[in-house]
Amino acid sequence: MVSKEVERLLLKVQKPGRYVGGELNEVIKNKRDVEVRFAFCFPDTYEVGMSHLGMKILYSQFNSVPYIWCERVFAPWVDMEAEMVKHRIPLYALESGDPLSAFDFIGFTLQYELSYTNMLNMLKLGNIPLTTAARGDELKHIVVAGGPCACNPEPIADFVDLFFIGEGEEVDLEVMELFRTCRAEGVDKPAFLRRCAQIEGVYVPSLYETAYNDDGTIQSFTPRDGAPAVVHKRLMLDMDTSYYPDTFVVPLVEIVHDRAVQEIFRGCIRGCRFCQAGFIYRPVREKSPETINAQCRALCDNTGYDEVSLSSLSSSDYSQIVPLLEQLTAWTGEEKVSISLPSLRVDGFTDEIMNKIKTVRKSGLTFAPEAGSQRMRDVINKNVQHDELMQTCATAFAGGWTTVKLYFMIGLPTETMDDVADIAHLGQDVVDTYYRTPNHAKGKSVRVTVSASSFVPKPFTPFQWEPQDTIPVLHEKQQHIKASITSRKLQFNYHDADTSFLEAVFARGDRRLCRVLALACERGFHFDGWADCFDLSKWMALFEECGIDPAFYANRRRRFDEILPWDHIDYGVKKSFLIEECQKAYENTTTPHCRLACAHCGAAKYGRGVCFEKRQDLV
Amino acid sequence: MKNVRIWFKKDFECRYISHLDLNRTMLRALHKSKIPIWHTEGFNPHPFATFPLPLSLGFRGVNECMDVRLEDDDYSFQEISERLNACLPRGIRVFDVTEAVMKAGKVAFASFTIRVGVPDKPSSLVAAQLDRLLSRESIEIEKKSKKGMKTVDIKPGIHAYKITEQFDVAVLDVLLSAGSSDNVNPNLLIEALTRETGMAYEVDITRKCAALHSVVSSISRFATMAITTSAAPHVAATPTTASASLASRSSVE
């Protein structure tokens, strides 16, 4: 629903279809029939936010409850923002067109650190005061947040009333229910938040005090008013009965991932040491092929999409991938639906899988060896061998593929310049493999793209204590790869090191960064994840103004016994396990994945998932 | 196998989507409706649909159409219409399905209703400005082309018009050249007006219908008809009344 005032702006901005709602399957309710109004905010553009699976799940689930109306809010692109500010139009939700101030809850999903400024900017555009303190005691405008960045909530602790730790399906609804009760009882916001803190998986940052040592590290972290000393994550244990939408809002304009998305499992068995997702979503919990098949079919029927993407952290690790593809291809061909299988591992691309995805549509192939040398891959526990990669590429080339993308990281712990040069060498080996494959596509040349991003150490990984390489070192490594490439069949691109640096600051930051963010918002910072808007020199000026050294967060090696800003949050993986893994990395030693042997990370305490599967070698 | 022409309105939220987005939305609705339509053959088969004349982003369309080829002739027009509406966003409504009598590629004219106003200015002022502009011998416009800026005279592409006043806006009903060769986008008219007066106009454009060259033996006769039906655009909303539109089974002669 678009107001007359907004309509006047729409023809002045790019892609106005992003600001109007009115899509197929959008949920419209009568305001008078609902008790709780929830504004689900994605702190990025419509095209990015509408592609996000978590939002689709929670949007549908909230709206399946009769007393809740959940609406969508996205960050307006800079041209629209300027028009809205100029004409004093507050940020509004797409379904009702109502401003943020009309909502009981304003919820954000935090997928990446660089969206923090967008979150604050959206509050500002909605005329919602930025901090918990400034919003007052009345039981309204409760700002909540979840998503992977909630695992270190501290840099945004002043702005968010409560965080959902872990998976949201159950805990979100428990909080809504409590809100309903509190409103009926006439309870104020501080009291409501104190009661929320008793719900497992809810973190209320205003109930904790931090003290610091002289060297800037954390001295203590103290809860008050009965808040728990450690907040434990929530997770869905039975994926087959867990809520999954049978329909998506189908956008009118093209979005980043314009297709149906079907989740096949959560978590990852691998334990790559740089990967936060690989630890915070433990243990692996799979859906059955039957559930997946039925859910895929419902999604296609209800949306009209002709493509389904099977989503997980590592598709080929789904234990029943072949039976699943068989069930799916039984109807997808007839209904002209194609299946895409992203996140394939190098060692998981078999003939059988290849032939199944080939029957529908041939998309490009992307693999992530992550590091160039075998030693480096052992350090990060990638568990991929050089020969496996070549074998896989040969399989793909024999199957007619001619383009392969390879993803790498630079700046990994213990990395040397020789390791870095090996990234280029590995790319070259793939090119050579193409010409050695006897039945590669006739008369066609091969194209191998090598992409290098800069490593950002993240909380809850074995590398959470590691310093990030400084920007000059990262630049040097980028140039070294470039210089090591000799073939024109090999294309090299790399991510901007500046953004990775800022990401590293906020990923492992503490509450003192709130001041920097508040000031950034005041100065109009937004869309830091977009090259159009990001400017590190402006950030450096802000840090200086606030008397904060960003290198303290990004480039400092922490001691294992240091109190980390996120130590009061529990994702099921023990700190002692992360330390062990870090030490094994220094010794170039790998850890077998969950299906081969239990590494005793701690996630077995949840009592379900891969920890209780029969191991392959024991069957 | 049968070619059918699907008639729809594009309005509300869907006014703000581009032609490419409309195409995607339509194909997705067809796929969801499970009406079997013909797919192109080849390496990457895709459903085949053609639109005779793309509608610019921001315009309302009350007599838009799209041609598809059905693989199964058992569907009644009524059924196609109902099934599609159940699969479309509320801003796009199918109101008729007909046989595709004439070739879609030969569109030559389109008629528009353009409401133009300036906040706090009387409609008579804008109406007079429009009248002055349109009475000119030539209306020159700077157009971006591949070889840089180019001056074009759009006057020969304006075939008939009528200006009326309605509350605070001036209403221009106009018949313009359309199609691949001499298309005149009504936005160009507004651009010319803005350049002349320097005023910021609020504009609301509705395309009423498109017409084929072969249908219109006498432009002036068609023009009179197109303009007169325009006073009440909803009358022209069905292809049977807009007899000179693509739906016509008998020509205007």
Answer whether A17 sits within 8 Å of B13, measured CB to CB: yes
CATH number at residue B131: 3.30.70.3190
Tell me whether residue B232 is exposed, middle or buried, using C-beta atoms within 10 angstroms of its C-beta: 0 to 12, 13 to 18, 19 or more. exposed
**Interface membership of B39 toward A (CB under 8 Å):** yes
Closest of A139, A167, A132, A138 to residue A265, by C-alpha: A167
Domain with B32 in it: 2-101
**Interface membership of B171 toward A (CB under 8 Å):** no
Answer whether A301 sits within 8 Å of B12, measured CB to CB: no
Answer whether B89 sits within 8 Å of A306, measured CB to CB: no
Q: What is the mean pLDDT of residues B192-201?
A: 94
On whether both B204 and B119 belong to a single domain, the answer is yes
User: What pLDDT was estimated at residue A358?
Assistant: 56
Q: In the predicted model, is pLDDT for residue A171 greater than 90?
A: yes
User: What pLDDT was estimated at residue B119?
Assistant: 92
Q: What is the set of domains in chain A, with CATH numbers? A: 4-232 (3.40.50.280), 260-606 (3.80.30.20)
Q: What residues in A contact B14, CB-CB < 8 Å?
A: 22, 252
On whether both B30 and B137 belong to a single domain, the answer is no
Please, which pLDDT band fits residue A348 given cuts at 50, 70 and 90? confident
Answer whether B17 sits within 8 Å of A23, measured CB to CB: no
On whether both B7 and B124 belong to a single domain, the answer is no
pLDDT in tens, A456-480: 999 999 999 999 999 999 999 999 9
On whether both B61 and B119 belong to a single domain, the answer is no
Residues 6+ apart with CB under 8 A from A127: A90, A99, A100, A101
Q: What residues in B contact A2, CB-CB < 8 Å?
A: 13
Answer whether A250 sits within 8 Å of B28, measured CB to CB: yes
User: What pLDDT was estimated at residue A619?
Assistant: 43
- Using the 3D structure, point to which of B101, B124, B146 is the last residue of a domain: B101
pLDDT in tens, A424-468: 999 999 999 999 998 888 888 899 999 999 999 999 999 999 999
Whole-structure pTM value: 0.93
User: What pLDDT was estimated at residue A349?
Assistant: 72
The length of chain B is 253
**SS3 of A521, please?**
helix
Answer whether B89 sits within 8 Å of A252, measured CB to CB: yes
User: What pLDDT was estimated at residue A528?
Assistant: 95
Q: In the predicted model, is pLDDT for residue A361 greater than 80?
A: no
Ramachandran angles phi, psi of B93, nearest 5°? -125, 125
Answer whether B87 sits within 8 Å of A253, measured CB to CB: no
**For the ranges A35-39, A176-180, A333-337, B90-94, which has the lowest average pLDDT?**
A333-337
Instruction: Give how many domains chain B has, as a whole number.
Output: 2
On whether both B62 and B176 belong to a single domain, the answer is no
Residue B228 is assigned to a structural domain of this protein: yes
Q: In the predicted model, is pLDDT for residue A92 greater than 50?
A: yes
Residue B62 is assigned to a structural domain of this protein: yes
**ipTM for the predicted complex:** 0.90
- Using the 3D structure, point to which of B101, B128, B160 is the last residue of a domain: B101
Q: Which residue of B has its CA nearest to A16?
A: B16
User: What pLDDT was estimated at residue B227?
Assistant: 55
Please compute, for residue A536, the number of CA atoms within 13 A of its CA located in the half-sphere on the CB side: 12
Residue B67 is assigned to a structural domain of this protein: yes
Q: What residues in A contact B44, CB-CB < 8 Å?
A: 361
User: What pLDDT was estimated at residue B231?
Assistant: 35
Residue B252 is assigned to a structural domain of this protein: no
- Name the residue among A21, A305, A336 with its Cβ closest to that of B39: A336
Answer whether B90 sits within 8 Å of A22, measured CB to CB: yes
Q: What residues in A contact B25, CB-CB < 8 Å?
A: 252
Q: How close does chain A come to B163, measured CA to CA in Å?
A: 23
Residue of A246, A252, A254, A301 to mutate, testing the B interface (most B Cβ within 10 Å of its Cβ): A252
Q: In the predicted model, is pLDDT for residue A174 greater than 60?
A: yes
Answer whether A22 sits within 8 Å of B12, measured CB to CB: yes
| E strand segments, A358-428 | 365-370, 403-410
CA A297 from chain centre, in angstroms, equals: 26
Provide the number of CB pairs (under 8 Å) joining chain A to chain B: 68
On whether both B123 and B212 belong to a single domain, the answer is yes
What does DSSP assign to residue A99? B
Ramachandran angles phi, psi of B85, nearest 5°? -60, -30
**Interface membership of B37 toward A (CB under 8 Å):** no
Q: What residues in A contact B18, CB-CB < 8 Å?
A: 15, 17, 253
Segments in chain B forming alpha helices (H): 19-33, 77-87, 123-134, 186-197, 219-230
Answer whether A252 sits within 8 Å of B202, measured CB to CB: no
Q: What residues in A contact B30, CB-CB < 8 Å?
A: 304
- Name the residue among B14, B31, B45 with its Cβ closest to that of A252: B14
**Interface membership of B40 toward A (CB under 8 Å):** no
**Interface membership of B202 toward A (CB under 8 Å):** yes
Which amino acid, residue A220? Answer: S
Share of chain B above pLDDT 90, in %: 63
Q: Rounded CA gap, A263 and A244, in Å? A: 9
Tell me whether residue B29 is exposed, middle or buried, using C-beta atoms within 10 angstroms of its C-beta: 0 to 12, 13 to 18, 19 or more. buried
Ramachandran angles phi, psi of A393, nearest 5°? -65, -40
- CA B193 to each of CA A378, A382, B129, B134, B230: distance values in angstroms, whole numbers, following the listed order: 69, 65, 8, 9, 22
On whether both B66 and B122 belong to a single domain, the answer is no
User: What pLDDT was estimated at residue B222?
Assistant: 56
- Name the residue among A16, A304, A305 with its Cβ closest to that of B16: A16
Any idea which residue has 């213990």 for tokens? A414
Q: In the predicted model, is pLDDT for residue B249 greater than 60?
A: no
Answer whether A22 sits within 8 Å of B44, measured CB to CB: no
Residues 6+ apart with CB under 8 A from B158: B134, B139, B174, B175, B176, B177, B184, B189
Element (H, E) at B93: strand B92-99
Q: Rounded CA gap, A451 and A221, in Å? A: 40
Segments in A136-288 forming alpha helices (H): 168-185, 189-196, 277-280
pLDDT in tens, A381-414: 998 999 999 998 998 888 888 889 999 999 999 9
Q: What residues in B contact A87, CB-CB < 8 Å?
A: none
Residue of B10, B13, B60 to mutate, testing the A interface (most A Cβ within 10 Å of its Cβ): B13
Residue B204 is assigned to a structural domain of this protein: yes
**Interface membership of B58 toward A (CB under 8 Å):** yes
pLDDT in tens, A4-47: 999 999 999 999 999 999 999 999 999 999 999 999 999 999 99
Q: What is the mean pLDDT of residues A515-527?
A: 97
Q: What is the mean pLDDT of residues B149-176?
A: 93
Q: Rounded CA gap, A319 and A242, in Å? A: 19
Q: What are residue B144's DSSP bridge partners?
A: B149
Q: Which residue of B has its CA nearest to A20?
A: B13
Q: Which residue of B has its CA nearest to A360?
A: B44
What does DSSP assign to residue A33? G
Q: What are residue A612's DSSP bridge partners?
A: none
Q: Which residue of B has its CA nearest to A2?
A: B13
- Using the 3D structure, point to which of B101, B135, B158 is the last residue of a domain: B101
**For the ranges A350-359, A487-496, B191-200, which has the lowest average pLDDT?**
A350-359
Residue of A1, A11, A254, A362 to mutate, testing the B interface (most B Cβ within 10 Å of its Cβ): A11
**Interface membership of B28 toward A (CB under 8 Å):** yes
Ramachandran angles phi, psi of A523, nearest 5°? -85, 0
Q: What is the mean pLDDT of residues B33-62?
A: 89
Q: Rounded CA gap, A275 and A255, in Å? A: 26
Radius of gyration of chain B (CA): 19
Please, which pLDDT band fits residue B210 given cuts at 50, 70 and 90? confident
Q: Rounded CA gap, A399 and A404, in Å? A: 13
Q: What residues in B contact A258, CB-CB < 8 Å?
A: 24
On whether both B82 and B142 belong to a single domain, the answer is no
Q: What residues in B contact A10, CB-CB < 8 Å?
A: 16, 58
**SS3 of A475, please?**
helix
Q: How close does chain A come to B227, measured CA to CA in Å?
A: 26
- Name the residue among B18, B33, B91 with its Cβ closest to that of A22: B91
On whether both B32 and B84 belong to a single domain, the answer is yes
Tokens of B183: 């298309």
Q: What is the mean pLDDT of residues A82-100?
A: 98
Please compute, for residue A614, the number of CA atoms within 13 A of its CA located in the half-sphere on the CB side: 4
Residue B173 is assigned to a structural domain of this protein: yes
Q: Rounded CA gap, A364 and A402, in Å? A: 8
Answer whether B91 sits within 8 Å of A11, measured CB to CB: no
**Interface membership of B21 toward A (CB under 8 Å):** yes
- Name the residue among B13, B29, B91 with its Cβ closest to that of A304: B29
Q: What is the DSSP string of A109-127?
A: E--SGGGHHHHHHHHHHTT
Q: What residues in A contact B17, CB-CB < 8 Å?
A: 17, 252-253
pLDDT in tens, A236-265: 999 999 999 999 999 999 999 999 999 999
Q: How close does chain A come to B46, measured CA to CA in Å?
A: 9
Residue B141 is assigned to a structural domain of this protein: yes
Q: What is the DSSP string of A551-613?
A: HHHHSPPPPTTSBPTTTTEE-S--HHHHHHHHHHHHTT-----TTT-----SGGGG--GGGGS
Please, which pLDDT band fits residue A617 given cuts at 50, 70 and 90? low
User: What pLDDT was estimated at residue A604?
Assistant: 96
**Interface membership of B19 toward A (CB under 8 Å):** no
Rounded to a whole number of angstroms, the distance between the first and last alpha carbons of chain B is 31
Preceding peptide of A190 cis, ω within 30°: no
Please, which pLDDT band fits residue B244 given cuts at 50, 70 and 90? very low
CATH number at residue B13: 3.30.70.580
Please, which pLDDT band fits residue B131 given cuts at 50, 70 and 90? very high
Residue of B32, B71, B83 to mutate, testing the A interface (most A Cβ within 10 Å of its Cβ): B32
Residues 6+ apart with CB under 8 A from A614: none
On whether both B53 and B146 belong to a single domain, the answer is no
- Name the residue among B21, B31, B33 with its Cβ closest to that of A17: B21
Which amino acid, residue A202? Answer: V
Residue B250 is assigned to a structural domain of this protein: no
On whether both B123 and B215 belong to a single domain, the answer is yes
pLDDT in tens, A564-605: 999 999 999 999 999 999 999 999 999 999 999 999 999 999
On whether both B96 and B131 belong to a single domain, the answer is no
Number of C-beta neighbours around residue A258 at 10 A: 16
Segments in A204-348 forming alpha helices (H): 277-280, 289-303, 321-332
